[in-house]
């Protein structure tokens, strides 16, 4: 067995034949579309008819596009609020659910995961109705409890629309965050906690000195996933405000779609998509270096 493995490792032809199908698929599914986007971005194609080569004009236009940078800022705001608000709460709930045990553990685990199994279209339309300024549940409840002065046009006011959408997207993703942290908490070795209990450690000391340090790899993965998901947000934006009012709640993916398929600026949409890919790649590399450079064990 050992000789066979050594033979396969030393045989470059065999290694190439094993790797080639996967690499070919990667080329066709990932690199080729990116290359094609770069090619179209160098033209003035509207998506229909012929096109002309215009050099890097579309890329220069993206760098000067105020809406592009505003969309990127909105995605950064969503990522920041997700990491600083949603994730600490999700982590806390994951720890609490783990300590419940028995049937209650299963019940709460199911409850928190319900928003994740409902289609985004359904939850987005549900929140549009909740936020409706005329008949929406939120304004009705505020009026009922004597806080009518807080009634707002939640999706119509440029000053608050982004935060209204952030709340929707954090609610939609809360179950996933809890689930990943819960799986991480469940995988921690029981012996460590038993030893801490024997040594007299209280719950706070156990949480901050054992649970959180041991969960660092899971936290790192969850944070990276949250940031990339924030950059790629589109469905909820498209189904609720479509980036409006004006472009107050615009996000990169939705803006790209509008330019390519609504405004018939297909080449410019491809230029945005190239920058989009670069931003996602750079963000992933930087976060990987920042969050996974330490040895946790």
Per-residue model confidence as pLDDT tens digits over 199-225? 888 888 888 888 889 998 899 888 888
Q: Say which residue the tokens 């505020």 belong to.
A: 142
Q: Give start and end residues of each alpha helix (H) in the chain.
A: 2-10, 12-26, 32-41, 57-63, 66-81, 87-100, 102-117, 120-131, 137-144, 161-186, 190-198, 203-206, 212-214, 216-231, 235-240, 252-257, 266-291
Q: Are 117 and 174 in contact (CB under 8 A)?
A: no
Residue 57 pLDDT > 90: yes
- The string of pLDDT tens digits covering residues 255-289 is 999 999 999 999 999 999 999 999 988 988 898 88
- The string of pLDDT tens digits covering residues 137-196 is 999 999 999 888 999 999 999 999 999 999 999 999 998 999 999 999 988 888 888 888
Mean pLDDT across the chain: 88
Three-class SS of 240-277: HCCCCCCCCCCCHHHHHHHHHHHCCCHHHHHHHHHHHH
**pLDDT value at residue 5:** 63
**pLDDT value at residue 160:** 94
The average pLDDT across 50-71 equals: 93
Give the residue, 14 or 151, on which the prediction is more confident.
Answer: 151
Residue 295 pLDDT > 70: no
Give the residue, 204 or 3, on which the prediction is more confident.
Answer: 204
Residue 292 pLDDT > 80: no
The average pLDDT across 56-63 equals: 94
Q: Are 169 and 211 in contact (CB under 8 A)?
A: no
Per the rule left: phi > 0, alpha: psi between -120 and 50, beta: everything else, 63 is alpha
Q: What sign does the CA torsion over 30, 31, 36, 38 have? A: positive
Q: How confident is the model at residue 9 (pLDDT cuts 50, 70, 90)?
A: low
Contacts of 236 (CB under 8 A, 6+ apart): 120, 124, 165, 168, 169, 172
CA distance 99 to 95: 6
Q: How confident is the model at residue 92 (pLDDT cuts 50, 70, 90)?
A: very high
């Amino acid at each position: 067995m050992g000789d066979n493995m050594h033979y396969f490792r030393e045989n470059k032809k065999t290694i190439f034949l094993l790797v080639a199908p996967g690499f070919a698929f990667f080329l066709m599914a990932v690199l080729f579309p990116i290359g094609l986007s770069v090619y179209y971005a160098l033209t003035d194609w509207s998506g229909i008819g012929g096109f002309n080569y215009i050099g890097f004009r579309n890329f220069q236009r993206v760098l000067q596009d105020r809406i592009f940078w505003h969309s990127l800022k909105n995605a950064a705001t969503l990522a920041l609020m997700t990491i600083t608000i949603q994730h600490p709460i999700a982590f806390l709930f994951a720890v609490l659910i783990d300590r419940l045990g028995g049937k209650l553990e299963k019940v709460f685990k199911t409850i928190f995961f319900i928003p994740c199994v409902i289609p985004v279209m359904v939850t987005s339309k549900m929140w549009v109705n909740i936020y409706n300024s005329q008949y929406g549940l939120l304004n009705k409840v505020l009026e009922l409890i004597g806080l009518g002065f807080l009634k707002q046009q939640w999706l119509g006011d440029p000053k608050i629309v982004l935060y209204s959408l952030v709340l929707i997207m954090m609610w939609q993703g809360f179950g996933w965050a809890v689930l990943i942290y819960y799986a991480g908490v469940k995988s921690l070795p029981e012996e460590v906690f038993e030893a801490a209990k024997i040594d007299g450690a209280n719950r706070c000391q156990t949480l901050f000195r054992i649970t959180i340090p041991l969960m660092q790899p899971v936290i790192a993965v969850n944070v990276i996933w949250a940031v990339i998901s924030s950059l790629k947000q589109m469905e909820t934006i498209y189904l609720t405000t479509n980036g409006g009012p004006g472009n107050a709640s615009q996000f990169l993916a939705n803006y790209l779609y509008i330019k390519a398929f609504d405004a018939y600026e297909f080449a410019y949409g491809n230029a945005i998509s190239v920058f989009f890919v670069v931003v996602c790649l750079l963000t992933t590399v930087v976060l990987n270096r920042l969050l996974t450079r330490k040895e946790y064990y």
